[in-house]
């Protein structure tokens, strides 16, 4: 076979040393290669198995120099005086590398993935993998899989193959949903790497959809998202997926939901400011009162959306008017509407609040509460169903049930500064993911799966296990529950974040694929990485990554089933464009 001829003609850079086993091999570096760049080199060696040849591939993750004369105590004084040993220093050096076996292939009539079932013999040559060798090995071993090349082996020109399996059981599927983490400090290239991974998943146009929740509008603007000035949108469409980027609130409207509306009032700070309520407990009570009132108004709306068409100033006047009215016998007896009674206990404090709201109503009628009206207008815009908007339910239907869609939702709410905040974005994320899960549950009960990947950019802002804000904590709790329970529906999550430490431990435990960019080398962050990859040499290698700002190269360590070279679970080191 051609592959065996290429292997036979390959120049060795070392030979198998001792001790070696089927998972990790020692490599004695040849003298002619002792001055070459070796760390990160993708190499191979062969092992005979009956009449077949096994080709094993690994990456050099550790190199050390040994010189027995320098270790001899009697020579230490000479070294101390002269700095070296004539004819022995350098000349008697042995360079020894360690490689972790990442994948093996059996060469017979066809080339197939294989498990290395024996240890290699000492003296077997170890050679650098080339692009020709990579192509030959993958030609038949991945014939039922779509292979994409996203980067090169660390500090080499050897292209690394990735496969992006959909979550179904059909050809090319993983049979289960994956959760993915892309980590790295600002400037590490994590967003570009995540975009390239999504471009890879876009090859599954007949089997899955992708939903990107974009709080910083990096994906939405599609500026410098991919290398070489490539357009993310164009690349996704080339893969065959339908692409749609929408912005909240301009392009999508939410359903008439009184709970969502009242929660938006609370989350935006409207209830706190307008009703002058400082305690969380009373804000929630007022939120529930408004929700009850809005539900009544929705029930009596004969046609179309109530929240999407109502005038903000008129609605605010109506709310205050009803809250100040005494309609029922109980309200007349208490001299307080049931809406205020559920928030404030009888007494002077309630009377002060009623007087305050009476003044607010007068100010509204005299056009003196324009700021509050402006905030309410921005909130109501989320429910406005103008002709050019898609409903949230329709969008979720496409993503979950139609397959082949990549939706980007810009959650930045720029231009609506009165309501723009992390709290609002957290609420929108909660609402959208809830809708996706509900639609997926419905599909699952009918015997099908959604096969949907939900992408959360800037995830550390919403999955923070140490967050003090109760709304962020609630969203974090919901996401943890979703990550734990929704894989059976075919829902996978991708978290793009600057820090692994902020993610809840349960989310990390549920992840199958990790991509670590530059910068997570301090304290607990690095400890988490070591715990995940369980490989000291690989951890040391990761810690040696060079800051991309110094050379414009973006090193990453991938861990998990994302490549035909990841059979053993050992990390892959590469440079992304």
Mean pLDDT of 347-356: 90
Query: Binning pLDDT at 50, 70 and 90, where does residue 294 land?
Result: very high
Distance linking the first and last C-alpha atoms of the chain? 33
Instruction: Tell me, rounded to whole angstroms, the distance of Cα 55 from its chain centroid.
Output: 34
User: Which pLDDT value is given to residue 397?
Assistant: 94
Specify the CATH number for the domain of residue 491: 3.40.50.300
Q: Where is 438: in which H helix or E strand? A: helix 422-445
Domain boundary, last residue among 342, 367, 382: 382
8 Å CB contact between 261 and 307: yes
Q: 373 and 465: one domain?
A: no
Domain boundary, last residue among 365, 382, 399: 382
Domain range enclosing 95: 2-140
Q: Where is 474: in which H helix or E strand? A: helix 470-485
List Cβ neighbours of 107 (8 Å cut-off, separation of 6 or more). Answer: 1, 3, 4, 52, 53, 54, 55
Task: Give the integer Cα–Cα distance in Å for 495 and 178.
Answer: 11
Query: Binning pLDDT at 50, 70 and 90, where does residue 417 land?
Result: very low
Domain boundary, last residue among 507, 531, 555: 531
Residue 549 lies in a domain: no
Residue 159 lies in a domain: no
Q: 86 and 188: one domain?
A: no
Residue 556 lies in a domain: no
Residue 189 lies in a domain: yes
What burial class does residue 428 get, using C-beta atoms within 10 Å of its C-beta: 0-12 exposed, 13-18 middle, 19+ buried?
buried
8 Å CB contact between 181 and 456: no
Mean pLDDT of 30-53: 90
Q: 334 and 444: one domain?
A: no
* Tens digits of residue pLDDT in 69-89: 998 988 888 888 888 888 889
Residue 547 lies in a domain: no
Phi and psi torsions of 52, nearest 5° = -105, 165
Indicate whether this model's pTM tops 0.75. yes
List Cβ neighbours of 425 (8 Å cut-off, separation of 6 or more). Answer: 215, 411, 412, 413, 461, 462
Q: 241 and 332: one domain?
A: no
Q: 213 and 262: one domain?
A: no
Q: 307 and 326: one domain?
A: yes
* Tens digits of residue pLDDT in 89-142: 988 899 999 998 999 999 988 888 888 889 999 999 999 999 999 988 888 766
List Cβ neighbours of 167 (8 Å cut-off, separation of 6 or more). Answer: 173, 174, 175, 176, 177, 178, 207, 208, 449, 451, 452, 453, 490, 492
Task: Give the integer Cα–Cα distance in Å for 271 and 319.
Answer: 12
8 Å CB contact between 452 and 491: yes
Residue 546 lies in a domain: no
* Tens digits of residue pLDDT in 142-188: 666 788 898 999 999 999 999 999 999 888 898 999 999 999 999 99
Q: 378 and 392: one domain?
A: no
* Tens digits of residue pLDDT in 315-346: 999 999 999 999 999 999 999 999 999 999 99
Would you say residue 466 has pLDDT above 80? no
Q: 54 and 109: one domain?
A: yes
Would you say residue 552 has pLDDT above 90? no
User: Which pLDDT value is given to residue 302?
Assistant: 66
Residue 541 lies in a domain: no
Higher pLDDT: 364 or 140? It is 364
Task: Give the integer Cα–Cα distance in Å for 225 and 464.
Answer: 25
User: Which pLDDT value is given to residue 311?
Assistant: 93
What burial class does residue 222 get, using C-beta atoms within 10 Å of its C-beta: 0-12 exposed, 13-18 middle, 19+ buried?
buried
* Tens digits of residue pLDDT in 530-544: 999 999 999 999 999
Percent of the chain with pLDDT over 70: 97
Q: 244 and 262: one domain?
A: no
Task: Give the integer Cα–Cα distance in Å for 511 and 551.
Answer: 31
Residue 562 lies in a domain: no
Q: 288 and 417: one domain?
A: no
8 Å CB contact between 406 and 198: yes
Query: Binning pLDDT at 50, 70 and 90, where does residue 423 land?
Result: confident
Q: Which of 200, 207, 149, 151 is nearest to 174 (CA)?
A: 207
Q: 245 and 316: one domain?
A: no
Q: 197 and 280: one domain?
A: no
Residue 278: Cβ within 10 Å count:
8
Distances (CA, A) of 295 to 260, 288, 397: 11, 10, 25
Percent of the chain with pLDDT over 90: 62
Average pLDDT of the chain to the nearest whole number: 90
8 Å CB contact between 317 and 364: yes
The number of folded domains in the chain is 3
Q: Are strands 405-410 and 209-214 parallel, antiparallel or unpaired?
A: parallel
* Tens digits of residue pLDDT in 564-574: 898 888 899 99
């Amino acid at each position: 076979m051609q592959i065996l001829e290429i292997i036979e003609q390959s120049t060795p850079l070392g030979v198998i040393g001792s001790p070696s086993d089927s998972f990790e091999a020692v490599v004695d570096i040849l003298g002619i290669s002792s001055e070459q760049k070796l760390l990160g080199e993708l190499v191979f060696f062969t092992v005979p198995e009956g009449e077949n040849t096994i080709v094993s591939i690994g990456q050099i993750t550790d190199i050390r120099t040994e010189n027995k004369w320098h270790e001899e105590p009697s020579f230490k004084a000479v070294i101390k005086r002269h700095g070296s040993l004539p004819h022995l220093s350098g000349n008697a050096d042995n360079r020894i590398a360690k490689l972790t076996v990442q994948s093996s292939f059996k060469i017979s009539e066809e080339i197939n993935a294989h498990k290395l079932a024996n240890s290699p013999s000492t003296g077997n040559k170890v050679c650098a993998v080339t692009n020709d060798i990579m192509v030959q090995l993958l030609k038949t071993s991945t014939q039922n899989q779509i292979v994409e090349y996203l980067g090169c082996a660390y500090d080499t020109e050897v292209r690394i193959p990735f496969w992006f399996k959909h979550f179904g059981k059909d050809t090319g599927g993983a049979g289960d949903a994956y959760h993915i983490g892309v980590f790295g400090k600002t400037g590490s290239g994590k967003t570009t790497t995540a975009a390239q991974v999504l471009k890879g998943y876009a090859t599954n146009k007949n089997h899955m959809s992708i939903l990107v929740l974009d709080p910083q509008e990096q994906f939405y603007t599609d500026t410098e998202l991919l290398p070489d000035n490539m357009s993310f949108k164009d690349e996704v469409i080339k893969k065959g997926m339908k692409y749609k980027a929408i912005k909240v609130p301009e392009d999508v409207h939410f359903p008439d939901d009184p709970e969502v509306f009242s929660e938006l009032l609370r989350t935006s700070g409207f209830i706190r400011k307008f009703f002058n309520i400082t305690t969380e407990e009373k804000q929630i009570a007022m939120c529930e009162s408004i929700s009850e009132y809005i539900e009544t108004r929705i029930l009596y709306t004969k046609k179309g959306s109530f929240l999407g068409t109502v005038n903000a100033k008129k609605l605010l006047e109506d709310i205050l008017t009803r809250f100040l009215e005494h309609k029922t016998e109980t309200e007349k007896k208490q001299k307080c509407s049931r809406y205020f009674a559920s928030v404030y206990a009888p007494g002077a404090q309630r009377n002060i609040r009623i007087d305050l709201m009476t003044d607010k109503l007068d100010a509204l009628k005299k056009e003196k509460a324009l700021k509050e009206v402006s905030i309410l207008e921005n909130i109501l815009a989320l429910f406005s169903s103008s002709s050019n908007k898609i409903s949230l339910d329709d969008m979720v239907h496409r993503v979950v049930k139609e397959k082949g869609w990549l939706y980007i939702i810009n959650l930045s709410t720029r231009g609506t500064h009165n309501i723009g905040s992390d709290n609002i974005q957290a609420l929108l994320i909660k609402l959208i993911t809830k809708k996706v899960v509900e639609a997926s549950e419905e599909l699952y009960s009918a015997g099908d799966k959604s096969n949907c990947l939900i992408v959360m950019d800037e995830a550390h802002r919403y999955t923070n296990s140490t967050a003090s804000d109760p709304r962020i904590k609630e969203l974090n709790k919901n996401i943890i529950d979703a990550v734990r329970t929704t894989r059976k529906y075919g829902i996978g999550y991708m978290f793009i974040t600057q820090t692994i430490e902020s993610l809840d431990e349960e989310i990390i435990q549920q992840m199958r694929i990790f991509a670590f960019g530059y910068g997570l080398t301090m304290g607990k962050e690095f400890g988490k990485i070591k715990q995940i990859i369980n490989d000291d040499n690989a951890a040391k290698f990761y810690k040696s990554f060079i800051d991309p700002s110094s050379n414009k190269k973006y090193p990453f360590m991938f861990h998990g089933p994302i490549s035909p070279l990841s059979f053993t679970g050992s990390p892959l080191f590469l440079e992304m464009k």
